[in-house]
Structure 1
């Protein structure tokens, strides 16, 4: 941060009247902060995987109103599976260019809450069940964005791990899991990337609203971690501005009619609020506004270049979960049956505040035909995605297409109505009509590949038992079609790895009995044993473990050595591609402390380098 901005922000606030300082703590409109003498306003916008720029009466925080077209990169559930920090930084830089082009100063992301339970409706917007991997991916994303002159807003702070009753729910979590699991990624990103802002969440933490939580907003964020930016509220998260400012909140969003500003002035005058807290909040907002003005630049965006990046990111995010008999990659000739509504109407992003109006969209069926021009590719819808149930006619058509093909590619997943911001899922099952179609197809065509599209973990044991090959990309953004075709036909060797465990059944999840909560309280009874930590500690069998993913080639790890280093241990290992295809391997290094005085997981992820290794 330029030191002159610090000085200028403090000087600007020093010459303001109390009412002006209070006004800086509330937005002037839905997406814009307030201005004051010597302090400009700045513009904010959703979202983490694509810009959702709104103006005028279209403004809303639910993704319902119109927005300007933008690139939709893979949401975090997909992009996280790349495990690729360099790619994250390039996506952040591209988002900065689009934000600059559309007059946005602060982009509301990344979302780095931990995927505590597979049923959370907003898991598509978060990176992982592991805090180290989350910070490993979020830090370069913030660096890329802010390197392009646009501020990040790290969210949702903190312990916001369910959508159920989210305006009132209290996340009741002990200090160790709070620090080691739910705050760890925030701490690392703040220390390493210095985001301009942090967004506090709707929920309560141990009974105290996040927007009024002095322990989090002041003691931890500022005193322990040295955060120098502004704390802004999630939209509509503040009920008591005076209490929030005293706790450490700087900016309430969206704007109000002036009631809250007046309440701050009255509280200072009657002695219930220290004016120094108002000064702190006003200075933080002024600093952010001056940073935005300092970094504004005229840019032009080549959306074809960004579309190519979206395709690359989507391709790198696809995980190969099963490939019995080396069914994949497919031959580019012969007869291919493509089945499923998602092949022509792809599910590529989540629902709610992050919903992007796309500049372009790759349709999987179109891209499959383009990638295999010598093949005969026929499509059948197979099932509906509107919840109306199965159709015998649609299923029969799918079976006939599969019977007359050499291979069937079946697209399965969840519609936006099945998962979204604002509600959690009751189950992780695929719709029964989709499984019925898959069973019928496999009965006549054993060479069946399943392509999955969903923002959350699915119950895949029935699918695993039925088919020889499975691809999963989570949600892949608007480059989904080309990415899927590239992997299906081997133009790209899949290298995605799971960022969350896929259990044999949802009841095996460590948080199962304590999610989403009851009577507006969620007890984090699993403690630090979240995700793979819990499965490993209980020696619980899973379908696909955290970090899992196959390749079209094979790798050998040789000459492993662990040596003392300046900052801990240095791990060295040689990687050799033992197959015939170039591939990208993700080296995952885990550590454990066997003599710990407190209960710990058997192993925890500590290092994630990525390597591209040529064949031979």
Structure 2
């Protein structure tokens, strides 16, 4: 979320996550009577009955979800409520509890510890979660978030980031999932299902094309409809179909000349008409510019203090009274909110006492997810796992003695223990919010515990020559490097603060050098040929130090696979320079997404480019073979594929079977059409079966997805570029609808 300017900018990130310790106040109104629609479990019928019983005042109040915060000149907490980033008061006579909203993309947030002594489970970054290629693990993580949110007095979670990673330097990529619509859609759906299993509404956000933070409030994304339907919108469509999120959050930017939150094509035509979406559209905080938002599909104005006006208040009432907006539009918007609340069970009363939270069990989920998301990029001469017989190891840099890095912004979680905070600084009011936070999970400590017979010592890496001399006296050197990223600021492919030079110096001094990266984006590696091992740990969450140690020592076998392509340098990007970088805030910027639907690895395939590491790449301490790929399709049915996967190595491990479309009637292409994560013991083989979504074989034309008649070829592989011999399938033309 972001403000428009001034005071709003300084307060937004705090307001995005505040809540209260006063749960007793939060759970007032437990003497509510039964809902007007008692006797039916049909959420549509209940919503219609309740909306019909509401007064005019109650209807309009339901469309406004202001911040409930004690912030001078900006917001205040209503009597009987507790602080929340968004708040709708209860209607006791209709059985409707208050709606309390919290940011919780990676865990329930509590910046600056405004709830004194209250902390939440901090999950790994979304991009790390996507590296697991496991919707099941995403669902378990979502359940952790949902359970803790409800226990803390919230029934709406602002999560479900589903924007495709088009710009690898985007400061918010760590909150998103991948560059592929299938992977993004299925992983987002898993998280949303988990959240909503706890009677908490989840959003999906930010619809659509929120691809960079630079000038995000004024950027106008231009893209043709077919390309948009086949890429970013398809990710949202798959996620919505698979998880039915209660709310969709529209974004800040414009798409083809209209702001997201008043984009009739996105909200009315695509979301509500074509997809038949039954939930509600809420605005992002500070993203509403006019009453036209209500006409064009927005149902609820969130954080309305950050907008020029409370458009769903007096302006909407006046427009309805004058006949410019039908009253039925107000009723529809209210019903959509009620419908989702009932469908998810978010109307369930909060308990009078805080619900117990099994933090130990949740920590296990965080550790499992963090471990499974770590990607082994290089392992020359099998430098990893670290041999227990090693006499000495140098751990250098990255504040590995303190903990593991996290991304910044409205998703920042406060975990158990004392965090370390290093100010990044910056221009204007946002500079005060730019702080690198380290969770108290030290990789150094975890390595010492895992290798009690090995001398494991630390050097900060502050002085490169000193670090190199230190490394030269050890058998193995592990260099930890970090690249902080956060909301409202785009990053770089280059490691900051001279860390490339640190790696070069250490590698020159010790031939057995391993690099561990903590980042929210891909990075360049000019030193790649000079080191033996490279691990991408992303932002691994509150248990990240232990997860990294588990991978380095072999307690866990690495199984993560890249959800985003790592370019060799900026020359391989669609846009070598970040559009608008350096321009003053408020500058209107048009970005032509000329790559269309060829996002990420599809761009590299179309341009015959060889990246540093391709999408889907990820090594293991064992090896896997794929055999006997078959693809079949009965007339009028979705194609199915099967392949035998065998662990040919000596260690148990998990493989991610990746199935790609490699050509179609229109020629060569590259598209992930299916995947499955499978755990195998040494020597074990298993047959994996995948049902393909026909839309992934189709193109958008004449208002629908159309599968062309002709020959299609498929290949299975370990990445988007490491593929088996193709198999063929002939299909007839088929219209798949919208």
- Normalised by the size of structure 1, how large is the TM-score? 0.91
Does the 8 Å CA contact 2:43/2:339 hold for their aligned counterparts?
A: yes
Contact 1:40-1:289 at 8 Å conserved across structures = no
Of 161, 168, 179 in structure 1, the residue corresponding to residue 218 of structure 2 is 168
TM-superposed CA distance for 1:342, in Å, is 3.0
Structure in which a larger fraction of residues adopt helix? 1
Which stretch of structure 1 is more off in the superposition, 318-327 or 288-297? 288-297
Partner of 1:365: 444
Q: Which moved more, 1:278-287 or 1:334-343?
A: 278-287
Mapping of residues 104-119 of structure 1, within 5 Å: 104-119=154-169
Q: What secondary structure is seen at the aligned counterpart in 1 of 2:282?
A: strand
- 1:247 paired with 2:303, answer no
Q: Which residue of 1 aligns with 2:87?
A: 32
What is the CA distance between 1:54 and its match in structure 2? 7.3
Q: Which moved more, 1:560-569 or 1:337-346?
A: 560-569
Question: Could you tell me how far 1:68 is from its partner in structure 2?
Answer: 3.8
CA gap of 1:54–1:32, structure 2 versus 1, over 3 A, is farther
Q: Is 2:88 the partner of 1:21? A: no
Q: How does 1:344-359 map to 2 (within 5 A)?
A: 344-359=401-416
Residue number among 12, 16, 41 corresponding to 2:50 in the alignment: 12
Matches for 1:205-244 after TM superposition, within 5 Å:
205-240=255-290, 242-244=291-293
Q: Aligned partners of 1:151 and 1:197: how far apart in 2? A: 7
1:192-223 per-position Cα deviation (integer Å, ceiling 9, x unaligned): 21111111111111111111112111111111
Aligned partners of 2:375, 2:516: CA distance in 1, in Å? 10
Deviations 1:463-485 (A, max 9, x none): 31220100002111111100110
Please tell me whether residue 488 in structure 1 is matched to residue 540 in structure 2.
no
Q: Distance in 2 between matches of 1:299 and 1:5?
A: 26
Aligned partner (choices 678, 681, 685) of residue 614 of structure 1:
681
- What is the total number of aligned residue pairs between the two structures? 590
Q: How does 1:329-344 map to 2 (within 5 A)?
A: 329-332=385-388, 333-344=390-401
Tell which deviates more after alignment, 406-415 or 427-436. 427-436
Comparing both chains, which one has the higher relative contact order based on Cα–Cα distances under 8 Å and sequence gaps of 6 or more?
A: 1
CA distance in 1, matches of 2:147, 2:298: 29
Shift of 1:260: 4.5
Q: TM-score when scaled to structure 2?
A: 0.77
Decide which of 319, 343, 349 is 1:267's aligned counterpart: 319
Aligned-pair distance for 1:299?
Answer: 4.0
CA contact (8 A) 1:73 1:477 kept: yes
State the shift of 1:117 in Å.
1.2
User: How far 1:67 sits from its partner (Å)?
Assistant: 9.1
Aligned partner of 1:144 among 194, 197, 200: 194
CA gap 1:197/1:519 in 2 versus in 1, 3 angstroms: closer
Q: Which runs of 5+ in 1 are unaligned?
A: 59-64, 384-393
Asked if 2 retains the 8 angstrom alpha-carbon contact of 1:320 and 1:494, the reply is yes
2:374 and 2:535 in contact (8 A); partners too: yes
In the alignment, what sits opposite 1:525?
A: 594
Alignment partner, residue 21 of structure 2: none
How is 1:206-605 mapped onto 2 (pairs within 5 angstroms)? 206-240=256-290, 242-256=291-305, 260-290=312-342, 291-294=345-348, 299-332=355-388, 333-360=390-417, 361-383=440-462, 394-415=463-484, 419-425=485-491, 427-431=492-496, 433-460=498-525, 462-512=526-576, 515=579, 519-565=588-634, 567-596=637-666, 602-605=669-672
Secondary structure at the counterpart of residue 320 of structure 2: helix
Q: What SS does the aligned partner of 1:534 have?
A: helix
User: CA contact under 8 A between 1:171 and 1:204: conserved in structure 2?
Assistant: yes
Provide the rounded CA distance (Å) in 1 between the counterparts of 2:532 and 2:664.
39
Question: Which sits farther off after the overlay, 340-349 or 81-90?
Answer: 340-349
Query: Which whole-Å CA distance do the structure 1 matches of 2:652 and 2:237 have between them?
Result: 37
Work out the CA distance in 2 between the residues paired with 1:345 and 1:525.
43
**Counterparts of 1:258 and 1:467, CA distance in 2:** 57
Change (3 A) 1:571 1:4: closer
Matched residue, 1:50? 107
* Partner residue, 2:170: 120
Kindly state the Cα deviation for residue 285 of structure 1 after the two structures are TM-superposed: 2.4
Paired residue for 1:387?
none
Distance 1:113 1:145, change over 3 A: same
User: What SS does the aligned partner of 2:302 have?
Assistant: coil
Mean Cα deviation higher: 504-513 or 570-579: 504-513
Cα 1:6/1:296, change in 2 over 3 Å: farther
Separation in structure 1 between the aligned mates of residue 590 and residue 237 of structure 2, nearest angstrom? 25
In the other structure, the counterpart of 1:62 is none
What residue number does 2:128 align with? 78
Query: 1:390 — aligned with what?
Result: none
Q: How many angstroms apart in 1 are the aligned matches of 2:216 and 2:639?
A: 41
Which has the larger share of strand? 2
User: 2:183 matched to which residue of 1?
Assistant: 133
Question: Aligned to 2:515, what secondary structure does the other structure show?
Answer: strand
Deviation at 1:92, TM superposition (A): 0.9
Displacement of 1:458 in angstroms is 0.5
Determine if contact 1:117/1:515 at 8 Å carries over to the other structure: no
> Alpha-carbon deviation of 1:73?
0.5
